[in-house]
Structure formats: structure tokens, C-alpha cells
């Protein structure tokens, strides 16, 4: 039969065994406290447990863990704050700990509590009276003292000392396990954090994103208080502040900013040190202060509650690209080194990206500008002509494009009046709106008014719908009045009013419509003669003749014929899809000798027709309708007026087309005008059927 003491010993051994097993599995402080509370308490009667850790040879310690005191804890404003602090040993505690390699029991009242640490005072206040202390073996580098408190004196006895002596070894191992597990956890956390940082950096395009990523990684890994990154400017001397990130509110915010001015040079002492040292510089702020070094910085950092400052150069390849300053109390230099290389590359890329974007923007702007220019050049470049006469025309155009002045373009048929009108419009501020064209000769007189000013529904027979006129359509744009000389006199008055007042009424309408229209008019008649003959109102003529541009006939600028011919050759061989790409010198000679009553339009058609007939890549033959220069007929042409020339040209074409006016092979097609226009021209020029039929016979 077992004695009572045997039973007691057996129970104790059983609990000790289970305690040993449980402690061997402990990985965290929380688990350790649970084991102590649940199992150790079965053997030793204690109210609270604490573990003090102190780095060997130091006079300070931290509380590795401590039970929350049960009663009288009013003074425990923040338990976490209490245990995270570092304490200086008071004499009594130091004395106790220095003897505790062997377990020691002591009366807490023997301590001079007035100089004891706050946690000890509070423990006393919450009822602790006796202490059992034992230093743990096998905890390299750090000395751990296990401290148990009891609420009554003489609570701890020799049995308890024996238990604690036995448990101390396992507790020491458990502490080592916890520390090792913490290292693993921290490494895991660091790894995750670094991986996230690497992923963040991969997507970083802007400085702001980099700032967020850096701040997050430095906070998590090193409890960053402040980080300042400076980058080297293009001059290689200035370091401008790139990132200024802080987590704490500093007692003197202005001096924080002052100490981190926008720009410094590489010669500033701290910057120079960081840039020139291969290894990062770590400042022990207290140490530097003691030596009186960099006092402005060190004093400020000290008041901001900092212990360490870290400064290093940021480098890509062999080139310094900036500096990084980190203020923190939890420096991990290895990690920071790795981070700095990543940060350097990221900054380098962002700066390169910024430069690229700036170049791109500049290029886009230049491109827009060039496009604008090209557009203007393009519009003018469609107008072929480099001789002095056309140069004059271009000069006049350039002068008038930007204004709203009315332009009157004069010139024989086919000289390019419409082309010039379009050129002016396309280079003018109104270019974004379509130029509206009205051919005054193409419409029967009774419809021109409605065409120009629009009409209201039912205003005349056939006016089934309300209609917007060309003046309204051309609002904020240009109205090109072609063949203005053909405008009936009664309409000339109305046109005069619009030009003067910029307002009109629709046919059959009462409302006055105001418009902002630029007018370009053109005619192949001689307006002065028309005015003299009473066919054109002088007041309208003066209104239109604000800025006249007179186009030379093609025979007045024969120097442009080769360029024009090759322009049309290119245009039509592309359109037709044949490979005629040059003009035989003989043909060019022929073209230059011809008198071109139909001007550029005629040249254009002749080239088009000749390409169709060509068998070769060289245009060797052209089909000119008239006899060559020197013929009687040609000489006679020189003495003709524009009108006479136009008349004889139309008759010639009509003859060639055997009197056919419209449709395929009709004269209107050859002349590239509407059949209605041809009819009206024939009426005006008094061309009778007899003339072209008689001569044909
Ligand atoms: N300088 C030029 N460069 C290139 N093409 C031109 C030139 N002048 C005229 N043309 C071309 O000749 C043809 C006739 O030009 P446009 O219609 O402008 O002449 P116009 O003087 O208005 O004729 P009309 O008095 O019969 O209305 C068009 O196809 C035009 O592109």
C-alpha cells in the first residue's frame, strides 16, 4: 500500500511529466502562459508569473511575458505598453536576479518599492507579497529570469523550489523554441512582405505608387518612423527630395522639414558620407550626440524619440542615383540592403518612364503641330505652281487665310478658283467646318434664292418642306459662291444685304436669321465689264472685291505645265491602276506649246485621257484638241477675250462630242461641268446648235 507521501510524489511526478510534455510543444508566449496557468499551478501555488529577459551584461531588461494582474489593476492603463517597455534594474531586483541561478524566495516588502519599476509597484498594489525567482539555463545570449508571485508570505516552500529547479530546464528550452519559432514566423512575414513589395514594384509606374509601396514595406518590416529619399538631378550635383515619408508626428514639424530641404548638393556632409561609403552608415544617435557630430540632425532625431538613423546610397550599376535615409528603432540592415537595390531600380525605371512620357508628350505636341502644318501645307501643296505668278497667289492666300475678309477670286475657267477657295478655307480658323459651295450658274434663277436663303414650307409651289439655305448651313464656316457673275440682278440685292448685315429671311419666312459666314466668291467673267454693262451691281462688286485674287491662265505660267502634268500623271495612273510614270520630252514640249483655253482643267483631262490610251510606262502621245502653236487658229486665240476663248473652247468640245451635251461622251463630261452649267454657259455665250453642227458637217 502506498503511503500518503508516495501518493503525493506520484501525483507530482505525473504532473511534472505532463508539464514537460506540454512545454516541449509550446511555440508561442500565449501557449506557454496557458501551460503555466493550467499545469504548473497544480504544483506551485502562485498568483502571477513573469519572465524577465535581459541581454547579458546590460543593466536593462524587458518583460518577455507576464500574467495580467488580477485585482487592483487600476494603474495598468495599458498592459501592452507596460510589457513592451524596457526597464532599468532597480538595486533589489538586480540583487535578486544575480542570486537566482539557484531558485530564491524573497519578501517583496524588503524591496525599496519607491525606486522599483512601475510593473513591480503595480504587482505589489494588486496584492503580490512574495517572489520566487529562478534564472533559466540554456538561453544563449539572453538571460531569462522566471519570477512567480504569491499573494501571501510563506506561500512558496522547498517543494516549490524543487519543482521550479526541475521545470527551469524545460522552461528554458520552451523559451528557445518560442524564440526560434518567432524567427521562423518573422522570416515568413518578411518573405511575404518582400514578395508583396516585389509585386508592388513590378506594377509601379508613378512616384506616388512607389511611395506607398516603400512606406508599407518599411513600416511592416522595420517600424519606419521617417524615410527620406533623394534623387540625383541631371547635373550630377543636386540631390532633390523625391520621397519624404514619415509615420510620427514630430515635436517640431518645421525643423523636420527644414532638415530635409527640397534640394541639397552631393557635398552636404551626410549626403557625401552616404554617397561615398560602400557600406551603409548606421548612426547610433546617442553615440553621435556624445561625440558632438551632426548635432542639428542628431538632436532633432533624439527629440523625435529615435535611436538609429540609417543612410545609404541608392545605386544602379556603377552609378549613384540618390540617397536613402531611414529613421527607425528596428533596423534590419540585411533586409534594408535588399530593399534598397529594389528601390533603386524602381526609381530608375520611374524616372526613365517619366522621361519617356515627357518625350512622348513632347513628340505628340510636335506631331500635332506638324500635322497642323502638314495640313496647311497639304492644302496648299495640292495647288501646283512654283512660278512667280502662282507665288504671288500663294502670298495673297497666306495673307488672307486668318481673317474673315471676303475674297473674290478671278480667273478663266479651269484655272483653279475653287481649289484656291478650298485652300483658303482649309487654312483658315473655320477649317473644322465644311466649306459650303453654291454654283450660281448651275441653278435655274427661280431656285437660287431658296438655295441660298432657304424657304418655309408652302412658300411657293413645290415647297413641301421647310428648307435650310446654304447661308445657314455655312454658319461659322465659309460659303463659296462660284460663278457669282451668273447671279440674277434681283438676287444680287439680296446677297448684298446678307454680306452687309449678315442676316436674311428664308423665302416665305418672317424671322430674321443671323449668320457668321465668310464669303469667297469666284467668277471667270471680267466683273468690271459686267458692271459697266449693267449686268452686275457695282455696290455688290465693291463689297465682294475686298480682297481680289487673280489667277493666271495656264498659258501665262507655262513653267508650271511639267509639274502639273506629272501631278496629274501620278494622280490618274494611281486611280486608273496603270503604270505610266513619266512623260516623254516631246509630249512635254507639245503641252507647253498648247494654249490651254480650258486651263488646268483641260490639262488634267487630257492627261487622264492620254493615260488611258498609253501602251507604255512613258506617256509618248497626248491628244490635244487644237492645232499646235503657230497655227493660225492658235495665233487667233491670243487675240481673244476670256469669254471668246471660253466660247470657242466649248464649241470645239461640242463638235468633238458631236453635239452631245450630257451622259457618256457628252461635252459636259469632257468639260467637267454639270450639263445644266453647260447649258447656261451656252445660253450666255449665245452658242447655237448651228455653230457646232454646221462646222461638224
Ligand atoms: N494649280 C493647280 N494645281 C493642281 N490642280 C489644279 C490647279 N488648278 C486647277 N487644278 C485642277 O483643275 C481642275 C479645275 O479647277 P477648279 O474647278 O478649281 O477651277 P475653276 O477655276 O474653279 O473652274 P470654273 O471656273 O470652271 O469653275 C480641278 O480638278 C483642280 O483640282
Provide ipTM, 2 decimals.
0.98
- Whether 418 lines ligand 1, by a CB cut-off of 6 Å, is yes
Ligand 1: centre distance to CA 595 (Å):
16
- Whether 411 lines ligand 1, by a CB cut-off of 6 Å, is yes
* Helix (H/G/I), strand (E/B), else coil: 504: strand
Distance between first and last Cα of the chain: 159
Q: With bands split at pLDDT 50, 70 and 90, how would you rate the model's confidence at 46? A: very high
Which class is domain 561-696? mainly alpha
Which class is domain 388-550? alpha beta
Residues 6+ apart with CB under 8 A from 171: 23, 136, 146
- Whether 601 lines ligand 1, by a CB cut-off of 6 Å, is yes
Q: With bands split at pLDDT 50, 70 and 90, how would you rate the model's confidence at 69? A: low
| Pocket-testing residue among 384, 419, 483, 558, ligand 1, by greatest number of atoms within 8 A of Cβ | 419
Question: Which of 99-108, 205-214, 370-379, 603-612 is predicted least confidently?
Answer: 370-379
Ligand 1: centre distance to CA 556 (Å):
15
Ligand 1: centre distance to CA 392 (Å):
17
The ligand 1 atom at the shortest distance from the C-alpha of residue 560 is: 1
The rounded mean pLDDT for the chain is: 84
Nearest CA to ligand 1 atom 5: 383
CATH of domain 204-355: 3.30.450.40
- Whether 524 lines ligand 1, by a CB cut-off of 6 Å, is yes
The ligand 1 atom at the shortest distance from the C-alpha of residue 671 is: 26
Segment holding 684, helix H or strand E:
helix 675-684
Render 65-91 in DSSP notation, one character per residue: EEPPP-SSGGG-S-HHHHHHSEEEPPH
Question: Cα–Cα distance between 439 and 673 in angstroms, integer?
Answer: 11
Are the C-beta atoms of residues 243 and 227 closer than 8 Å to each other? yes
The alpha carbon torsion through 83, 89, 92, 94 (nearest 10 deg) reads 110
CATH of domain 12-183: 3.30.450.40
| Residue that has been written with the C-alpha cell 424657304 in this structure | 455
Share of the chain above pLDDT 70, in %: 88
Are the C-beta atoms of residues 137 and 35 closer than 8 Å to each other? no
Share of the chain above pLDDT 90, in %: 32
Q: What integer pLDDT is reported at residue 623 of this predicted model? A: 79
Q: With bands split at pLDDT 50, 70 and 90, how would you rate the model's confidence at 227? A: confident
0.95 exceeded by the pTM?
A: no
- Whether 456 lines ligand 1, by a CB cut-off of 6 Å, is no
What are the residues facing 356 on neighbouring strands? none
Residues 6+ apart with CB under 8 A from 64: 29, 50, 51, 52, 53, 144, 175
Mean predicted confidence (pLDDT) in 196-216: 87
Question: Which of 42-46, 53-57, 535-539, 573-577 is predicted least confidently?
Answer: 53-57
Does the pLDDT value for residue 437 go beyond 50? yes
Higher per-residue confidence, 114 vs 86 = 114
Q: With bands split at pLDDT 50, 70 and 90, how would you rate the model's confidence at 332? A: confident
Q: With bands split at pLDDT 50, 70 and 90, how would you rate the model's confidence at 634? A: very low
Question: Cα–Cα distance between 232 and 250 in angstroms, integer?
Answer: 27
Q: What integer pLDDT is reported at residue 657 of this predicted model? A: 80
Cell numbers that stand for 518 in this block: 465668310
Nearest CA to ligand 1 atom 8: 416
Q: What integer pLDDT is reported at residue 641 of this predicted model? A: 67
Q: What integer pLDDT is reported at residue 167 of this predicted model? A: 95
- Whether 677 lines ligand 1, by a CB cut-off of 6 Å, is no
Q: With bands split at pLDDT 50, 70 and 90, how would you rate the model's confidence at 636? A: very low
Q: With bands split at pLDDT 50, 70 and 90, how would you rate the model's confidence at 328? A: confident
| Pocket-testing residue among 384, 385, 418, 424, ligand 1, by greatest number of atoms within 8 A of Cβ | 418
Ligand 1: centre distance to CA 420 (Å):
8
Phi and psi at 460, nearest 5°, equal -155, 170
343-367 per-position pLDDT tens digit: 999 999 888 888 888 878 777 766 6
Question: Cα–Cα distance between 119 and 109 in angstroms, integer?
Answer: 15
Higher per-residue confidence, 17 vs 289 = 17
684-694 per-position pLDDT tens digit: 888 888 787 74
Cell numbers that stand for 144 in this block: 531569462
Q: What integer pLDDT is reported at residue 549 of this predicted model? A: 96
Q: What integer pLDDT is reported at residue 305 of this predicted model? A: 73
618-631 per-position pLDDT tens digit: 999 887 875 444 44
Question: Cα–Cα distance between 607 and 591 in angstroms, integer?
Answer: 10
Angle between helices 158-203 and 207-222 (to 10 degrees): 170
Question: Cα–Cα distance between 248 and 474 in angstroms, integer?
Answer: 66
Question: Cα–Cα distance between 666 and 659 in angstroms, integer?
Answer: 8
Q: Where in the chain is the domain with CATH 1.10.8.60?
A: 561-696
Q: What integer pLDDT is reported at residue 629 of this predicted model? A: 43
Q: What integer pLDDT is reported at residue 81 of this predicted model? A: 66
- Whether 669 lines ligand 1, by a CB cut-off of 6 Å, is no
Q: With bands split at pLDDT 50, 70 and 90, how would you rate the model's confidence at 186? A: confident
* Helix (H/G/I), strand (E/B), else coil: 196: helix
What are the residues facing 319 on neighbouring strands? 316
Q: Where in the chain is the domain with CATH 3.40.50.300?
A: 388-550
Q: What integer pLDDT is reported at residue 76 of this predicted model? A: 47
Q: Where in the chain is the domain with CATH 3.30.450.40?
A: 12-183, 204-355
Mean predicted confidence (pLDDT) in 560-583: 90
Nearest CA to ligand 1 atom 26: 413
Are the C-beta atoms of residues 350 and 318 closer than 8 Å to each other? no
Does the pLDDT value for residue 329 go beyond 80? no
* Helix (H/G/I), strand (E/B), else coil: 155: coil
- Whether 437 lines ligand 1, by a CB cut-off of 6 Å, is no
Ligand 1: centre distance to CA 603 (Å):
10
- Whether 384 lines ligand 1, by a CB cut-off of 6 Å, is yes
Amino acid at each position: 500500500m502506498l503511503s500518503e507521501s508516495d501518493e503525493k510524489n506520484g501525483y507530482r511526478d505525473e504532473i511534472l511529466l505532463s508539464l514537460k510534455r506540454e512545454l516541449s510543444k509550446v511555440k508561442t508566449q500565449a501557449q506557454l502562459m496557458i501551460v503555466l496557468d493550467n499545469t504548473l499551478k497544480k504544483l506551485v501555488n502562485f498568483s502571477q508569473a513573469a519572465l524577465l529577459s535581459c541581454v547579458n551584461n546590460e543593466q536593462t531588461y524587458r518583460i518577455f511575458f507576464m500574467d495580467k494582474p488580477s485585482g487592483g489593476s487600476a494603474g495598468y492603463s495599458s498592459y501592452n505598453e507596460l510589457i513592451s517597455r524596457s526597464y532599468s534594474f532597480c538595486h533589489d531586483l538586480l540583487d535578486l536576479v544575480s542570486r537566482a541561478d539557484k531558485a530564491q524566495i524573497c519578501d517583496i516588502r524588503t524591496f525599496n518599492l519607491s525606486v522599483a519599476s512601475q510593473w513591480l509597484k503595480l504587482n505589489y498594489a494588486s496584492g503580490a507579497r512574495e517572489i520566487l525567482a529562478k534564472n533559466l539555463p540554456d538561453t544563449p545570449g539572453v538571460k531569462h529570469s522566471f519570477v512567480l508571485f504569491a499573494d501571501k508570505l510563506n506561500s512558496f516552500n522547498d517543494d516549490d523550489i524543487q519543482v521550479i529547479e526541475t521545470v527551469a530546464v524545460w522552461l528554458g528550452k520552451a523559451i528557445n523554441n518560442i524564440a526560434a519559432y518567432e524567427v521562423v514566423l518573422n522570416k515568413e512575414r518578411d518573405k511575404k512582405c518582400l514578395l508583396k513589395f516585389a509585386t508592388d514594384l513590378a506594377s509601379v509606374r508613378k512616384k506616388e505608387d512607389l511611395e506607398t509601396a516603400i512606406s508599407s514595406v518599411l513600416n511592416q518590416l522595420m517600424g519606419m518612423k521617417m524615410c527620406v529619399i533623394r534623387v540625383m538631378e541631371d547635373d550630377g550635383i543636386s540631390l532633390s527630395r523625391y520621397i519624404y515619408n514619415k509615420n510620427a508626428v514630430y515635436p517640431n514639424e518645421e525643423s523636420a522639414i527644414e532638415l530635409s530641404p527640397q534640394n541639397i548638393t552631393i557635398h552636404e556632409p551626410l549626403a557625401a558620407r552616404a554617397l561615398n561609403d560602400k557600406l551603409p552608415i548606421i548612426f547610433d544617435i546617442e553615440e553621435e550626440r556624445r561625440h558632438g557630430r551632426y548635432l542639428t540632425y542628431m538632436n532633432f532625431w533624439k527629440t523625435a524619440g529615435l535611436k538609429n538613423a540609417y543612410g545609404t546610397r541608392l545605386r544602379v550599376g556603377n552609378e549613384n542615383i540618390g540617397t536613402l535615409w531611414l529613421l527607425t528603432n528596428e533596423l534590419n540592415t540585411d533586409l534594408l540592403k535588399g530593399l534598397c537595390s529594389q528601390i533603386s531600380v524602381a526609381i530608375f525605371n520611374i524616372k526613365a518612364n517619366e522621361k519617356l512620357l515627357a518625350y512622348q508628350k513632347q513628340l505628340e505636341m510636335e506631331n500635332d503641330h506638324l500635322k497642323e502644318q502638314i495640313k496647311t501645307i497639304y492644302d496648299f501643296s495640292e495647288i501646283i505652281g512654283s512660278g512667280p505668278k502662282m507665288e504671288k497667289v500663294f502670298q495673297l492666300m497666306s495673307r488672307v487665310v486668318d481673317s474673315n475678309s471676303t475674297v473674290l477670286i478671278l480667273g478663266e475657267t479651269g484655272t483653279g478658283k475653287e481649289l484656291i477657295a478650298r485652300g483658303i478655307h482649309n487654312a483658315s480658323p473655320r477649317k473644322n467646318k465644311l466649306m459650303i459651295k453654291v454654283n450660281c450658274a448651275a441653278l435655274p434663277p427661280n431656285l437660287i434664292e431658296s438655295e441660298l436663303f432657304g424657304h418655309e414650307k408652302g412658300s411657293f409651289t413645290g415647297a413641301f418642306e421647310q428648307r435650310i439655305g446654304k447661308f445657314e448651313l455655312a454658319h461659322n464656316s465659309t460659303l463659296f459662291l462660284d460663278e457669282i457673275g451668273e447671279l440674277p440682278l434681283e438676287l444680287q440685292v439680296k446677297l448684298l444685304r446678307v454680306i452687309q448685315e449678315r442676316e436674311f429671311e428664308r423665302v416665305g419666312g418672317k424671322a430674321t436669321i443671323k449668320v457668321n459666314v465668310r464669303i469667297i466668291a469666284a467668277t471667270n467673267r471680267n466683273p468690271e465689264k459686267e458692271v459697266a454693262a449693267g449686268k452686275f451691281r457695282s455696290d455688290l462688286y465693291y463689297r465682294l472685291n475686298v480682297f481680289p485674287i487673280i489667277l493666271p491662265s495656264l498659258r501665262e505660267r507655262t513653267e508650271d505645265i511639267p509639274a502639273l502634268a506629272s501631278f496629274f500623271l501620278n494622280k490618274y495612273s494611281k486611280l486608273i491602276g496603270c503604270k505610266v510614270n513619266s512623260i516623254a520630252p516631246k509630249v512635254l514640249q507639245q503641252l507647253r506649246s498648247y494654249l490651254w483655253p480650258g486651263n488646268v482643267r483641260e490639262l488634267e483631262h487630257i492627261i487622264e485621257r492620254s493615260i488611258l490610251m498609253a501602251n507604255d510606262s512613258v506617256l509618248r502621245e497626248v491628244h490635244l484638241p487644237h492645232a499646235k502653236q503657230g497655227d493660225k487658229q492658235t495665233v487667233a486665240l491670243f487675240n481673244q477675250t476670256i469669254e471668246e476663248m471660253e466660247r470657242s473652247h466649248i464649241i470645239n468640245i461640242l463638235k468633238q462630242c458631236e453635239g452631245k451635251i450630257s451622259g457618256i461622251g457628252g461635252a459636259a463630261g469632257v468639260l467637267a461641268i454639270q450639263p445644266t452649267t453647260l447649258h447656261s454657259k451656252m445660253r450666255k455665250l449665245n452658242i447655237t446648235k448651228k455653230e457646232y453642227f454646221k462646222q461638224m458637217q
